[in-house]
Amino acid sequence: IALHRILRHKNVIQLLYVEQIDQHYVSLMELCDYGNLQQMLRASPGSVLAEPICRRYFRDMLEGVAYLHSQNIVHRDIRCENFLVDHHDCVKLCDLSCATRFCNGDELQTTSYANSAYLSPEIIENKPFNPRTADVWALGVCLHVLLTSKLPF
């Protein structure tokens, strides 16, 4: 929540309000009433989106992740379910529960929180990895899913 409070970008879901009640946090986020990209794929004819739509959505996805990385934050759980679409047809990165700070020069990571279908090769091989490049790999998997409605592996 602390990381999410400082983020302000059109392609990152906006945290509007947070309150702690006993041991739990209640958060209010901006409305993205078109659901997530996986839901949109399932609802579209043939379970694929037209290429111009994929291109526009992927640009939004790239801009959201690039903004996080520019703030020295890595998401660590990039997948189609973690991108929401609002009523302006703008894609927004959400679910920052696995996000953490990562600066150039930090030690490589050995623990991943991502869905196995979106894992980069070095994570699958249990090697230390740069979480920024792992986020980028997962974006590539998302693009493949948007264009084909199937996971690449």
Angle at CA of residue 16, ends 94 and 12, nearest 5°:
30
- Which of 22, 33, 60, 77 is labelled catalytic? 77
State the alpha helices, DSSP H only, in the chain. Answer: 2-6, 37-43, 51-70, 121-124, 131-148
* Distance between CA atoms of residues 52 and 125, nearest Å: 35
- End-to-end, the C-alpha distance of the chain in Å comes to 33
In the residue annotation, 77 being an active-site residue is answered as yes
DSSP string, 87-108: TTS-EEE---TT-EE--TTPPP
* Residues labelled catalytic: 77
